[in-house]
Amino acid sequence: MPRKTKPQPAQAPQQAQAKHPGGRPTKYDPAMCEIVIQCGAEGKTLVGMADALNIHRDTLHEWRKSNPEFSDAIRFGLMKSQAWWEEKGRVATFGEVQGFSATAYIFQMKNRFAEDWRDTVKQEITGADGGAIKQQHEGFLDLNLSALSDEELATARALIQKALENEPQ
């Protein structure tokens, strides 16, 4: 009678190549820095830059975080974009552009370049180290309490203590 053998587990084939340590390799290329600068020089936005690179805007933001030279190129490109738009507005303001709408131009500039073009300045007032503002009430009541009885003074003291306990810190 033939001897029964226990089935052997299948052996995994040897891996042909190790996987990329961080997932799929990036398509980022330092040459893309010049492309985003050129896009800015044409007045394009971050979305326009991502489109020129044929990537999603989320990818553009990820590359911006992980590649300092790319981040610098985007900042420079955005500065060039603002300069492009400001030049277009300057030329149009002096009547060199048919159908120019100053209202639409200003609206776009305030939204695109709010840091430099907003009408209002946001101010925040805080206490020490950015905390809440502390209020102190020193000498705010100059009262002559000498005419009050001991019982009236005790009542006044209790009311003042209660008010101070309930005051926000």
Higher pLDDT, 105 or 166: 105
pLDDT digits (tens, 9 = 90+) for 135-161: 776 655 666 778 888 998 899 889 888
In a domain, 78, yes or no: yes
In a domain, 113, yes or no: yes
In a domain, 44, yes or no: yes
In a domain, 26, yes or no: no
In angstroms, rounded to a whole number, what is the distance separating the alpha carbons of residues 60 and 62? 6
Model pLDDT, residue 122: 73
In angstroms, rounded to a whole number, what is the distance separating the alpha carbons of residues 77 and 89? 18
Share of the chain above pLDDT 90, in %: 49
DSSP 118: -
What average pLDDT does the structure give for the chain?
84
pLDDT digits (tens, 9 = 90+) for 34-75: 999 999 999 999 999 999 999 999 999 999 999 999 999 999
In a domain, 141, yes or no: no
99 contact partners, CB below 8 Å, separation of at least 6: none
The arithmetic mean of pLDDT across residues 25-42, rounded, is: 95
In a domain, 101, yes or no: yes
Domain count, the chain: 1
Share of the chain above pLDDT 70, in %: 80
Q: Containing domain of residue 98, as a range?
A: 32-117
In angstroms, rounded to a whole number, what is the distance separating the alpha carbons of residues 81 and 93? 18
